[in-house]
Amino acid sequence: MAKIKPPSAIHDLQRLRQSPLPINTSLGPFFNGAFFGRDSIKVGFHLLDTEPELVEEIICLLASLQGQETNSLSEEEKGRIFHESRKAEWADEKGLEILRTLSQMWGGSETELLYYGACDTTPDFVRLVGAYCQKYNSLLLDKNIIDNQGNTTTIRASVALAANWVMEHLDSSEIGLLEFQRSNPQGLELQSWKDSRSAYLYHDGSRLNFSSPVAVLGVQGSAYDSLLAALHTLPTHPNAFRWLATANELSRNIWGYFWLGDFFAGAIDRNADGNPRRSEIKVSDAGPFLASGLLSTLSDKEINYFVEKVATVLMSEEFLTDVGIRCRSVKNANLTTEPDYHGSWAVWVKETYDTAVAFHERGLPHLALALENRILHGAAQAGCHRELFWVSPEGQVLYNPDQEPDDKIPGIYSRKPEPTQAWSVSSVLAIKRRRGENSPLPPMTDFEEKILAAIPNIEAPQQTLEDVSSPFYLLEERT
C-alpha cells in the first residue's frame, strides 16, 4: 500500500475546536455536534500536559451539566456526569435527525438532549479534576459555574457530588463493585465505554444478563482511583474518610471477582439464579486497567506478575495487529456475525493508546513505543485520525472503509468508523508531543526484549514539526 502523508494532529484538534463546544466529538456524521462526557474526559487526560486551557474548559462544561435530580427517563442522578449532550444549534442535518431520534428514547426535546446513561464518566471526571489540580494548582476548585438548574456552584462542590455518587453506588452493591443497570427500558444496556451489546460474551456466544446489575473491569479501576483523587483533592471534606474506606473495600473485591489466574475477566453479571458470574473471554480492558492505582497497593513482585501476564497476552497474535490491539481475542472472532465494533475485528486508537500509557506507567516503555508506532502507522496509512480500524482475523487492515476487504464478513463493515475522532486525535498528538521531548529511554528489560523479538516491527512515519511544538491556540488557520 502506498504511504499517505501523515495527517496533522494539531490541525485536526483545531478543526474539532471550531464549534461552540470545548471540543467536538468527531467530524464524522454520527458524532459531529455532540458532546460526550466520556470522550471529552479522555481527551482531557491525553492533553493534560500540553493544553491546560482546553482541559479546564472541558471540566467546567462537564460540571455545569452534572446531574442534580433523579429522572428515570434521562437516567439523571444527583452527582452523575452525563453520557451524551446534543443541541440543535450544534448540529447539521444528520445531527438533527439523530437528536430527534435519541430524544424520543431518552427524554430530550426537538432542540436539546442530555442523557446520563454512563457508569464511568463520573469517576473519570473526579480523576481528571484531581490530575489537573495535582499538575497545576487547586484554584480551579473555587471557580464558579452555573449548574443545569441555573444555580451557581463551584468545581469543588461538583467533585464532592461526583465522589459521593461513586461511593453511594459502591455501598449499595451486593458484591461491592461499581455496577450499572439502566432505569430507562430504551436506555443503553452497557453503560461503560464499550457500549455495544456484544462487547462482553460467554463461550457459547451469549451476552451479559442486562436484567440485573453489571460490573466491568475498567470501571472498577477508575472508581478506586477517583475516590483517592477526591481524598487528595478535598482532604477536609466530611466524607473523606468514607471515600478512603470504600476504596479499600473495592480493592479487595476486584481481585476476588476479576482475576482468573492468568488474565482478567472483562465483566461480572448475574446468572438466572441471581448469582454473580464472570465473562471470561479475554478482552482488551485489561491493558488500560494496569495503570490503575490499585496495582500500586501491591508489592513490586506482585505488580510485575500481573503486568507481565497481561502484556504477554495483549502483545501476542491473539490481540496485536499492525494498527493496535483488538478489543476481543481473535480466538473468539466467530462468536458474533453482526457489526461488533467492540469485538475481535475492532481496533480502537484510544484503547491502544491507553494500554501504551499503562505500559509506560508500569516500566515497559519499549512495549509502549511499539504500540504507539502502530497508532502513528495507522493514521498515516488511513490519511486521517480514524475512530477505529476493522482488522480481519488474518490481520488484513481496512484502512479505507469505503473499500471492500478481500474476505468480507457479512455485516461487519456496515458500521463505518468516524474519520476524525477527538480521542484518536488527542492520542496521536500526545504521542508526538512526548516524542518531541526526546527523553532517553531506560534500558530494555529482558521481558520486553523477549516480547519484541516475537512480534512484527512496525516503523512510525516521520513526525510533522507542528504536531510536536505548536499549541492549538497559536496555530494559524490552514486551507
**What span, in angstroms and rounded, lies between the C-alpha atoms of 117 and 379?**
31
Q: CA 326, 330, 332: angle at the middle one, nearest 5?
A: 120
**What span, in angstroms and rounded, lies between the C-alpha atoms of 455 and 457?**
6
Q: Which cell is 277 given?
A: 458470574
Comparing 134 with 413, the larger pLDDT belongs to 134
Segment 369-387, tens digit of pLDDT:
999 999 999 999 999 999 9
Segment 307-346, tens digit of pLDDT:
999 999 999 999 999 999 999 999 999 898 766 899 999 9
Q: Which cell is 391 given?
A: 482488522
Q: What is the pLDDT of residue 478?
A: 26
Residue 146 in contact with residue 187, Cβ under 8 Å? no
* Cβ neighbourhood burial of 275 (10 Å; 0-12, 13-18, 19+): exposed
pLDDT for 466 beyond 80: no
3-state helix, strand, coil in the chain (%, to 5): 45, 10, 45
- Map grid coordinates 457489526 to a residue: 339
pTM for the model stands at: 0.94
Mean pLDDT of 204-229: 97
Lowest mean pLDDT among 116-120, 125-129, 353-357, 397-401: 397-401
Nearest Cα residue to 286 out of 194, 196, 370: 194
**What span, in angstroms and rounded, lies between the C-alpha atoms of 288 and 355?**
5
Segment 125-172, tens digit of pLDDT:
999 999 999 999 999 999 999 999 999 999 999 999 999 999 999 999
**What span, in angstroms and rounded, lies between the C-alpha atoms of 341 and 355?**
18
pLDDT for 224 beyond 70: yes
Q: Which cell is 43 given?
A: 481527551
Q: What is the pLDDT of residue 401?
A: 76
pLDDT for 34 beyond 70: yes
pLDDT for 438 beyond 90: no
**Residue 241: HSE in the Cβ half-sphere, 13 Å Cα cutoff:** 1
Segment 50-88, tens digit of pLDDT:
999 999 999 999 999 999 999 999 999 999 999 999 999
Which positions ≥6 away from 235 have C-beta within 8 Å?
none
Treating both helix axes as pointing N-terminal to C-terminal, what angle do 365-382 and 446-453 enclose, rounded to 10 degrees?
30
Sheet of 388-391: strand order equals 346-348, 388-391, 397-398
**What span, in angstroms and rounded, lies between the C-alpha atoms of 4 and 15?**
20
DSSP states of 333-357 as a string?
A: GGG--S--TTSTTEEEHHHHHHHHH
Residue 33 in contact with residue 86, Cβ under 8 Å? yes
- For the chain, the structural domain boundaries read 1-18+316-468
**What span, in angstroms and rounded, lies between the C-alpha atoms of 464 and 462?**
7
Percentage of residues of the chain with pLDDT beyond 90: 84
Phi, psi of 36 (to 5 degrees): -100, 130
Give me the residues paired with residue 391 across strands. 397
Residue 34 in contact with residue 27, Cβ under 8 Å? no
Which positions ≥6 away from 51 have C-beta within 8 Å?
471, 472
Mean pLDDT of 457-467: 74
DSSP states of 281-322 as a string?
A: S-BTTHHHHTTSGGGGGS-HHHHHHHHHHHHHHHTSTTTEET
